[in-house]
């Protein structure tokens, strides 16, 4: 899982920065690993399909980056095979910046966060915009019929590299569902004690 990541990200200026700040030798080991493509294994599959959102970066024709949060129900980002992921793209603010950028430059970078467990997966790939009239079966496969949001297209990403990134500075945060699960035993115990108190004369 390391060599493709280094091939994409370790440009000459990046290597110069590593040299300047004393991490070049440590990072060089990534380049020396076998150069097989990164494939989505069981741990990546479970992590990807447990997410309810991720950050997606594209770049326009002038090189300006654009980062957008993509959200949905847990599992809306789906693994299609061991090197492909995709999601139903919902109607948003109708600026279409990401979609427009992809028409000019198909490269994307995704950051998938698990704040509660301080885990982060970075994905680099090439994205393809697919409309319903082009592949209605794919769009049906990617959308969640129970999620009431208008699907305008699908985004299918061929994964070129992945990296499980350092958790050192990830501040733990919790979703409403995670907080509910954590406090549920306490609420159950409170109800038990209240029932015992109510039974006393």
Give me the count of residues in the chain. 201
Strands, E assignment, 91-149: 107-114, 119-130
**Looking at the domain assignment, is residue 201 inside a domain?**
no
User: Nearest CA to 110 among 52, 79, 68, 166?
Assistant: 68
One domain, residues 88 and 24: no
The three-class DSSP label of residue 64 is coil
The tally of domains found in the chain comes to 2
One domain, residues 42 and 108: yes
Please give the residue range of the domain that contains residue 22: 1-36
Residue 55: burial class (beta carbons within 10 Å; 0-12, 13-18, 19+): middle
One domain, residues 98 and 24: no
One domain, residues 41 and 122: yes
pLDDT score of 165: 82
pLDDT score of 1: 57
One domain, residues 82 and 181: yes
One domain, residues 118 and 96: yes
User: Nearest CA to 115 among 167, 57, 68, 159?
Assistant: 167
One domain, residues 29 and 51: no
Spell out, as residue ranges, where the chain has pLDDT lower than 70.
Answer: 1-2
pTM here is 0.88
One domain, residues 18 and 51: no
Q: Which helix (H) or strand (E) holds 143?
A: none
User: Nearest CA to 56 among 92, 18, 4, 2?
Assistant: 92
pLDDT score of 63: 93
In the block, residue with structure tokens 């990134």: 165
pLDDT score of 2: 65
One domain, residues 163 and 82: yes
**Looking at the domain assignment, is residue 16 inside a domain?**
yes
**Looking at the domain assignment, is residue 94 inside a domain?**
yes
Q: What is the mean pLDDT of the chain?
A: 92
One domain, residues 79 and 147: yes
5-59 pLDDT, tens digit each: 899 999 999 999 999 999 999 999 888 887 777 899 999 999 999 999 999 999 9
- CATH code, domain carrying 90: 2.30.110.10
pLDDT score of 5: 87
């Amino acid at each position: 899982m390391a060599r493709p990541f280094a091939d994409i990200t370790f440009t000459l200026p990046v290597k110069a920065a590593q040299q300047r700040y004393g991490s070049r030798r440590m990072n060089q080991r990534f380049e020396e690993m076998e150069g097989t493509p990164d494939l989505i294994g069981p741990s990546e599959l479970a992590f990807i399909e447990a997410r309810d959102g991720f950050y997606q970066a594209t770049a326009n024709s002038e090189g300006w980056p654009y980062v957008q949060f993509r959200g949905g129900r847990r599992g809306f980002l789906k693994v299609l095979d061991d090197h492909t992921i995709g999601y139903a793209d919902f109607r948003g603010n109708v600026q279409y910046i990401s979609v427009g950028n992809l028409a000019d430059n198909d490269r994307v970078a995704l950051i998938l966060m698990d704040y509660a467990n301080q885990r982060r997966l970075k994905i680099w790939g090439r994205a393809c915009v697919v409309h319903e009239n082009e592949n209605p079966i794919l769009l049906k496969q990617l959308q969640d019929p129970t999620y009431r949001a208008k699907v305008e297209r699908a985004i299918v990403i061929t994964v070129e590299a992945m990296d499980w990134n350092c958790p050192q500075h990830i501040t733990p945060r919790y979703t409403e569902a995670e907080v509910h699960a954590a406090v549920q035993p306490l609420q159950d115990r409170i109800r038990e004690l209240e029932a015992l108190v109510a039974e006393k004369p």
